[in-house]
Amino acid sequence: MSFGRDIDFKMHKVFIGWETLDMNEQAVVYNNDGEGRVEEGPKRLFLFREKFVPLSRYTADQNHYLQVKYRNGTIEHIRGPCLIYKNPLEHDSIKLENNISLDANEVLVIYQRDETTGAVRRYLQHGPTMFIPQANEWLHKFCWHGVDPNNKTRLLPHSNTFSKLKVIPDQFYYNVDEVRTADDALIRVKLMIFYELTDIEQMLNSTQDPIADFVNCVCADVIAFSSKLTYMEFIELSGELNNLTNYPQLKARSKAIGYEISKVVFRGYYASEKLQKLHDNAIAARTKLKMAFEREEQEQLLTDMKLNADTERISTEQKMELESINHIHEMERKEQEHSLGIEMKQFQGEMSRLEQDQKATIQMKGEMNKQKVEHYTNLKTMGVDLTEFVKQQAARPQKLIHVSAENNAANLHLHQ
């Protein structure tokens, strides 16, 4: 990388003689009347009553520019890469300056003066770019509170000077000292504040140091929050300092100067040694009681677990016994169903057999009756008195019983 170099040559006073200019060299030759002319090499000059002055050469690469101040008072910025010789006839001074490199999250605030009217306007240059200010432009210099190199939680006024304004979310640590509670206990509250620039024009018109505004507002909000609480109440409710609703002044001021507070993180607190010792003793006592409570709770839980296990085991045994009884009953029921099924099949077979026998008997009697009818029919056809034939065929009764009753009498007479 070429940063340019000044080539200083010793001024030569030559009245008669030869001078040589090499390639890429220039010189001014003054005559006896004080008039000068610029000569450019490569060249060999014969001088007579003249003064030979070599010119210094200035170069700038693509990351630099040359600030040229002319003898008439005007200033010109020449973008690199470039080469220029300092001509004492025209130039008063030449300086090598760095281009201003801007990242995507950086902004320059630039002021520009109109050469004709003298009016000054302000505009913003956003990155990413390589910026070269014009001769009639200058940059806004910010001077804010900055972090103490020896203590990250301490901010020093006017310690952060810069020109590149960052427009990405950022944060800083800060401790609010000597915060007094309602019972006159002094504590230190440790915070971390996250913020983001949302309106650059509003910020430029509303504040000179937004970090100082944040610090003042957060101190006021923390004091207002703690002054209503005792030391023990503050310890119990300190987690509420993570809630943005407890920072009304900080939120209002940040909005008024073009910023947005995204989050405030409560990092803890610090009290005096005596107060901290009392608090530590109280914590130790509470911890001891808590440990005793937890031990008793563990014992109760262990007892409950044992009882639950015994209950579950008894319930499981009863369930298994009940399933065994149900299984036995189910087997007996199936066995009875099987026996009844076999008996039902036997009964159905017997009934079917009896039905067939009755049908056969009825059929046989029908055939016999049919034969008798045919026999009687044949006898009738042959002229046989069927009534007498039947009487003769009938068996003689062994006994004859005659029942008679007298008229209008309730007495019965049985004659055998």
The pLDDT value recorded for residue 4 is 37
Distance CA 386, CA 393 (A): 10
Strand residues in 99-216 grouped as ranges (E):
100-102, 106-113, 120-126, 129-131, 137-139, 142-148, 151-162, 164-166, 170-180, 186-197
Global pTM reads 0.59
Q: For the domain made up of 172-271, give the CATH fold.
A: Tetrahydropterin Synthase; Chain A (3.30.479)
- 3-state class (DSSP) for residue 68: strand
Q: Determine the Cα–Cα distance for residues 127 and 78; give it in Å rounded to an integer.
A: 21
pLDDT in tens, 194-208: 999 999 999 999 999
Burial class (CB in 10 A: 0-12, 13-18, 19+), 160: middle
Helix (H, G, I), strand (E, B) or coil at 239: helix
109 closest CA partner among 198, 199, 204, 196: 204
Mean pLDDT over the full length of the chain:
86
Domain ranges in the chain are 1-93, 172-271
d(CA 335, CA 205): 102
Tracing tokens 């009392």 back to the chain, one arrives at: 278
Q: Which of 176, 276, 190 is nearest to 223 (CA)?
A: 176
CA distances from 373 to 19, 212, 349, 369 (A): 181, 143, 35, 6
Give the dihedral of Cα atoms 355, 358, 359, 361; nearest 10 deg: 160
**Measured distance CA(269)–CA(264) in Å, rounded:** 14
Q: What is the pLDDT along the chain (416 residues), one digit of tens a residue?
A: 333 333 343 444 545 788 888 888 888 988 888 888 888 888 888 888 888 889 999 999 999 999 999 999 899 999 989 999 999 889 999 999 999 999 999 999 999 998 888 899 999 999 899 999 998 999 999 999 999 999 898 999 999 999 999 999 999 999 999 898 888 888 899 999 999 999 999 999 999 999 999 999 999 999 999 999 988 888 889 999 999 999 999 999 999 999 999 999 999 988 866 666 766 677 778 788 888 898 899 999 999 999 999 999 999 999 999 999 999 999 999 999 899 989 888 888 888 888 888 888 888 888 888 888 888 888 888 877 777 777 777 666 666 666 665 555 555 555 55
What's the pLDDT at 248? 95
Question: Rounded to the nearest 5 degrees, what angle is found at the Cα of 119, between the Cα atoms of 114 and 122?
Answer: 85
Dihedral sign computed on CA atoms, order 377, 379, 382, 386: negative
Cβ-Cβ contacts under 8 Å for 21 (sequence gap 6 or more)? 27, 39, 40, 41, 42, 43, 44, 45
Could you tell me the two tokens for 10?
Answer: 């010793």
Rounded distance between C-alpha atoms, residue 174 and residue 219, angstroms? 10
CB count in 10 Å sphere of residue 254: 23
CB atoms within 10 A of CB 201: 11
Give the per-residue pLDDT at 24.
84
